[in-house]
Structure 1
Amino acid sequence: MTSLIFGAGGMVGSRIAHGSPGAICISRQPRPGWLVADLGRRETINLPEAEVIYCATSPIAFSMVMPEVLRRKPRRIVVITSTSVFSKIHSEDARERADMTSLRAAEDRIIHACESAGVEWTILRPSLIYSEGRDQNVTQIARIVRKLRFMPLYGRGTGLRQPVHAEDLGRGALAAAISPAAANRAYSTTGETITYREMVGRIFDALEMRRRFISLPPLAWNAAFAIAQPLYPGISPAMGKRMVKDLAFDSSEATADFGWQSRSFAPSFR
């Protein structure tokens, strides 16, 4: 089965490529044996025939060039987005709300374009993707733990999380691409359900460090955040409040339709 992979150099796209020998990997920059195409420049989207096209990069940028992507009429488009389209759409952070509105609009554009062209689509929505050393979730927490030797929590950190390893998501994308039941469906593809506090605790375990937490009430958290923000640009106050919010989604339909499975959360930084 011939396939094309946008974002093949990323932590999920590289896993899809590894499990799909012969796939054509796509990059904005020239690489030996790769196809050059830039989603920001329509004139570069000149694709060969392929049965499946994977989007493991920005769905927003991908959605803007759907006419060029669909020109060869692939059988299936598989796109990885995020459960954040549900969990952050009402965030108190205006930037997060805007980002999720854009992401949901991108999903809609992709679906509409595929249906207009008679091409099957599958959307996978993981939560908290990690790949030790590469991600901005688990690896970032590990950096904080190493530096501080403890982890500050908003309240007790009891909100539910479902971290998903990039390798499992890559395998899931490959399985979804060949599943008739997954045609024209969107799925939550989530991992083991644990509390935020337990997730961080297992990161301590992976680093062979004793679990040490400091629970902060809202006023203390806001004060600590003001001090820490210059050291960790990109973080927002809303991140703290989410530590006590359940961000858990049902992936049973993905399991039923294409055998979705995700490992238990036990990161390794060795």
Structure 2
Amino acid sequence: MADKIYGVIGATSLVGAALLPRLVASNCRVAAFSRRKPESENPNLQPGSLVWNPKGVEITHWISLAPIWVLAELLPMLEARGARKVVVLSTTSLFTKSRSESPAEQRLVEGIRTSEAMLAEWAGKHDIEWVVLRPTLIYGLGKDRNISEIARMINRFGFFPLLGEGVGLRQPIHAEDVAQACQAALDLPEIKNRAYNISGSEQLSYREMVLRIFRCMDKQERLVSIPRWAFKMVLLLLRRFRRFQDWSVAMVDRMNQDMVFDHAEAEQDIGFKPRPFRLEVGDLP
């Protein structure tokens, strides 16, 4: 019989899809929580090792994959369930969007900052250990909103627009590597009450990142460099498609800004060893 039970919030998320099989394979009993209906088919999960949205079960160890800005509404539930350690997924957007001119992105940054501070205060008050992990651009399993969105745009239009040359550096991190970091941070008793930035092992330009998506899709590489004023017009057209309604000028501007983070502390403390950006067919929709 499995000898551990871990609570996973946001279990139907991208990282959740990578994390649940890892926990089950580690002989953990998993209490998975999600507001969305879970996918019933998953051959990697052993029968009886996973329970969805259980009631009245005491759970001491938790991983929250839900957006950190909804954390406040989750804390009373964690406390009531007897939480003793909580690993929370945040984001490096806390830093990369801090100088954004977009009011929406400024509100997002403030929400992240407030939520991280609230977690530390709440945990200290109730003698609960906490760890915050801030990943960079997450991709994988064909379910992300980063690499997969670029791939969908290439499929729809046959090209990809770049603002200028797209020279800003990126460190894409695979969802499975994020899941590994979450499990390690929860399992290691000495890791507590601190935050880590986690990133992919390879730095590459935004332009090269897009070119690798073309190659993985076995499509002719067609990049179109567009000046900023023209990109605004392109965005107006893209927003007619529901999938691209969240695209903004601020997001496009970052194509030429470096967004890289050192993960040496996570490597040293939790054995974090991310892969380079090597796309496989299963990583795209």
TM-score by length of 1: 0.90
More divergent stretch after superposition (87-96 vs 241-250): 87-96
Q: Secondary structure at the match of 1:238?
A: helix
Q: Distance in 2 between matches of 1:61 and 1:28?
A: 13
Two-structure CA RMSD over aligned residues (Å):
1.9
Q: Distance in 1 between matches of 2:17 and 2:163?
A: 35
Are residues 1:94 and 2:103 paired?
yes
More divergent stretch after superposition (203-212 vs 134-143): 203-212
- The corresponding residue for 1:143 is 152
Q: Secondary structure at the match of 2:143?
A: coil
- The corresponding residue for 2:130 is 121
1:81-230 mapped onto 2 (5 Å cutoff): 81-191=90-200, 192-230=202-240
Offset at residue 36 of structure 1 (A)? 2.7
Q: Distance in 2 between matches of 1:47 and 1:199?
A: 46
Offset at residue 230 of structure 1 (A)? 1.8
Query: Which structure 2 residue ranges, 5 or more long, are not aligned?
Result: 41-49
Q: Match for 2:14 among 11, 14, 20?
A: 11
Q: Secondary structure at the match of 2:281?
A: coil
1:56-95 mapped onto 2 (5 Å cutoff): 56-95=65-104
Question: Any idea what the Cα deviations from partners look like across 1:167-201, whole Å, max 9, x if unmatched?
Answer: 11111100111224421110111102111011101
Offset at residue 52 of structure 1 (A)? 1.1
- The corresponding residue for 2:46 is none
Q: Distance in 1 between matches of 2:231 and 2:274?
A: 33
Q: Distance in 1 between matches of 2:36 and 2:239?
A: 33
Q: Secondary structure at the match of 2:13?
A: coil
- The corresponding residue for 2:33 is 26
The amino acid of 2:279's aligned partner reads: P
CA contact (8 A) 2:163 2:256 kept: yes
Offset at residue 54 of structure 1 (A)? 0.6
- The corresponding residue for 1:260 is 272
Q: Distance in 2 between matches of 1:23 and 1:121?
A: 19
Change (3 A) 1:174 1:229: same
Offset at residue 72 of structure 1 (A)? 4.1
The amino acid of 2:276's aligned partner reads: S
Aligned residues: 262
Query: Which structure 1 residue ranges, 5 or more long, are not aligned?
Result: 38-45
Question: Any idea what the Cα deviations from partners look like across 1:184-224, whole Å, max 9, x if unmatched?
Answer: 11011110211101110110111011222111222222232
Question: Any idea what the Cα deviations from partners look like across 1:137-193, whole Å, max 9, x if unmatched?
Answer: 100000111222221100100001111111111111001112244211101111021
Change (3 A) 1:30 1:154: closer
The amino acid of 2:163's aligned partner reads: Y
Question: Any idea what the Cα deviations from partners look like across 1:236-261, whole Å, max 9, x if unmatched?
Answer: 11111100011111111000100112
The amino acid of 2:273's aligned partner reads: Q
Offset at residue 117 of structure 1 (A)? 0.8
Q: Secondary structure at the match of 1:121?
A: strand
Q: Distance in 2 between matches of 1:29 and 1:224?
A: 33
TM-score by length of 2: 0.86
The sequence identity of aligned pairs, in percent, is: 32
Q: Distance in 2 between matches of 1:139 and 1:207?
A: 11
Change (3 A) 1:250 1:28: same
The amino acid of 1:264's aligned partner reads: P
